[in-house]
């Protein structure tokens, strides 16, 4: 079998599985979206992105430590598929993403490779390189696979949009938190996140 060490060796028009993805040995960070290769944008998050991710991770880590639900930060493979399907084998999975942060409460979804199934809560921090197409794609993927709660963090606006699945398994925008507020997850109402701490790197610039 030909060893894949460069992105240029792959056919951008081909449909790949997670089993293929595991064999690749190149430095570029990629995701698989319904079998198609998607370069992560931007490939190297900037200082503001990393600061916000670190601040959120620190706050959430303290909360979830010693709890059943577990917190993970990118790079961390999350394999997604329709929520109506049972756990799939690697060769049957065609979507793998790396959310900035995610919380998983079902221990059966966790294995040595990451998460096989939908996390309960996903947080994505936007960068200037994110396109509207990317935003729409992730939104639809998370909704279809059954991610109960999805947060979109807008660094430069210092806001967070909170989406929660309704009884019809469709996302509803339930809250928009700003930098002077406490953001409260729908799934974990006892967790109160002071956004002035999350966005503090911007105040120092």
pLDDT tens, 38-90? 888 666 668 888 999 999 999 999 999 999 999 999 999 999 998 777 677 78
Token duo for residue 111: 């294995």
**What pLDDT does residue 41 have?**
66
The residue with greater pLDDT, 130 or 31, is 31
Per the structure block, which two tokens stand in for 48? Answer: 């503001």
Distance CA 94, CA 76 (A): 16
Q: Is the pLDDT of residue 202 over 70?
A: no
For the entire predicted model, the pTM comes to 0.91
Q: Chain-wide mean pLDDT for the chain? A: 91
CB 48 within 8 A of CB 201: yes
Q: What is the pLDDT of residues 87-120, one digit of tens each?
A: 777 889 999 999 999 999 999 999 999 999 999 9
Strand 114-116 to 78-79 pairing: parallel
Task: Return the domain boundaries, the chain.
Answer: 42-203
CATH class held by domain 42-203? alpha beta
Coil, helix or strand at residue 51: helix
**What average pLDDT does range 2-10 have in this prediction?**
87
Report yes or no: 17 and 93 within 8 Å, Cβ to Cβ: yes
pLDDT band at 124 (very low <50, low <70, confident <90, very high): very high
Judge whether 126 and 152 are in contact, CB under 8 Å: yes
């Amino acid at each position: 079998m030909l060893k894949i060490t460069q992105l240029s060796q792959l056919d951008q028009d081909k449909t790949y599985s997670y089993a293929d993805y595991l064999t690749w040995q190149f430095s570029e960070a990629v995701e698989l979206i319904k079998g198609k290769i998607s370069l992560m944008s931007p490939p190297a998050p900037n200082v503001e992105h990393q600061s916000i991710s670190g601040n959120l991770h620190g706050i959430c880590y303290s909360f979830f430590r010693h709890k059943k639900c577990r917190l993970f930060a990118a790079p961390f493979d999350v394999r997604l598929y329709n929520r109506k399907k049972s756990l799939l084998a690697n060769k049957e999975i065609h979507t793998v993403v790396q959310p900035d942060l995610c919380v998983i409460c079902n221990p059966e979804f966790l294995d040595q490779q990451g998460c096989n199934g939908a996390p309960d809560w996903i947080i994505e921090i936007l960068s200037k390189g994110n396109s509207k197409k990317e935003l729409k794609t992730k939104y639809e993927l998370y909704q279809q696979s059954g991610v109960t709660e999805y947060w979109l963090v807008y660094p430069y606006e210092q806001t967070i949009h909170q989406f929660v699945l309704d009884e019809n398994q469709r996302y509803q925008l339930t809250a928009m938190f700003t930098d002077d507020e406490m953001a409260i997850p729908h799934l974990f109402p006892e967790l109160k996140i002071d956004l002035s701490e999350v966005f503090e790197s911007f105040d120092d610039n």
